[in-house]
Structure 1
Amino acid sequence: MEKFLITGLGNPGSLYRNTRHNLGFLIINRIAEKYLLSFSRKKFGYVSEFTYKKKILLLKPSTYVNDSGLSVKYWMNKEKIPLKNILIISDDIYLNFGNIRLRGKGGDGGHNGLKSIEKELRTSHYARIRFGIKNDRWMKEKIDYVLGIWSEEELKNIFDKLEISIHIIFSFILNGLQKTMNLFNNKNI
């Protein structure tokens, strides 16, 4: 059976749990809650595996965002998952808050986790969901902003967007990258 690696980027530990930079972990955790899954601490990450018409491996790297590529490469090789079945979920400080974009390739946009993945995989041709966290504050305090906790206003608006992200992830798994991009990109989400 075909297997997929869905990786949410973030930093491990309670210090980072509710930060914007842990958006990838937040989305992966929502999937786990929805399907009553638990994570096991394994080499380079927290892993949960389940079947939803296809085999799915959920990964939260334990390497911190800046070294996420080590975790992705390890699990991709260990589970023999082809590059076309890899999906990375990250925050994006250049997209307006709540905007979601699925791409099959691209630059790292200054995101150190994506830089690490590109370095380890030796390609920028992998699928990624970029979830916008931009607001007016980030221009002055980029590091403090991404490592800051969600504001009350953001928390009020984020959960519907998390559900859309989950629909995109499962569409990617079931329908493929191109069809999913056609369904979701540029639809004002």
Structure 2
Amino acid sequence: MSQPWLVVGLGNPGPTYDGTRHNVGAMVVDELCRRAGEKLSSARAQRAETARTRIGPAGIGVPSAQAEQVVLMRSRTYMNDSGIAVRKVADFAHIRPDHVIVVHDEIDLDLGRMRLKLGGGDNGHNGLKSIRAHLRTGDFLRVRVGVGRPPGRQDAADYVLGHFSSREKPQVELQVALAADAVEAIVSTGLEQAQNRFNS
């Protein structure tokens, strides 16, 4: 049996944080659940909400011999403790770090841009820092979704906890859909082909 995948959408739990820049990763997992026709359910002992599906050449949620098993996940911890939940879910589902895909906000990329990569540092992102610490490696896949830099002298932490403006929302919806496409492509065609298609 092939190694399953874990797709982690980073964000903070609770309605207060819905639609904030820091939760764009969680928005991508929500979109993947919608496409798969699955709902996240609480895995209390794992401090996460998870759903199981398959991704293959025919798309997400379509059974086929080539389809890969995928666990979709949102943490029930706050961003700074994301690694606790990621480690619990990965251990429970026997998923190696090289089959973990973390979708997260990236202030060093403009809104509308995206980068897919394997490994690297945390670049000041507390969610990535926590995951690196708890997996004891940085060698997991990342889908970096651009949210742009804070204007003027606004603190970066305040900026990412802010909501997208009404003017930005149409572009955010498009970017979330593209990031979900990118996750599907990584699983079904591999990182290199997905990078060629989606890196911008």
The interval holding the TM-score normalised by the smaller chain is over 0.9
Change (3 A) 1:86 1:155: same
Match for residue 19 of structure 1? 20
The 5 A counterparts of 1:65-84 are 65-84=79-98
Alpha-carbon displacement from aligned partner over 1:20-76 (angstroms, at most 9, x marks no partner): 111111111011112221111112101011123111100001111101111111111
Matched, 1:36 2:50: no
For normalisation by structure 1, the TM-score amounts to 0.93
**Which residue number corresponds to residue 189 of structure 2?**
175
Pair 1:8 & 2:9 matched: yes
Closer, same or farther: CA 157–49 of 1 in aligned 2, 3 Å: same
Q: Which residue of 2 aligns with 1:154?
A: 168
Q: TM-score, normalised by structure 2?
A: 0.88
Q: CA deviation at 1:179?
A: 2.6
> Where do 5+ consecutive residues of structure 1 fail to align?
none
Q: Calculate percent identity across the aligned residue pairs.
A: 32
SS at match of 1:120: helix
Asked if the contact 1:93–1:138 (Cα under 8 Å) also holds between the matched residues in 2, the reply is no
Aligned CA distance change for structure 1 residues 138 and 132 (closer, same or farther; 3 Å): farther
Unaligned runs of 5+ in 2: 56-66
Q: What value does the CA root-mean-square deviation take over the aligned residues?
A: 1.4
SS in 2 for 1:95: coil
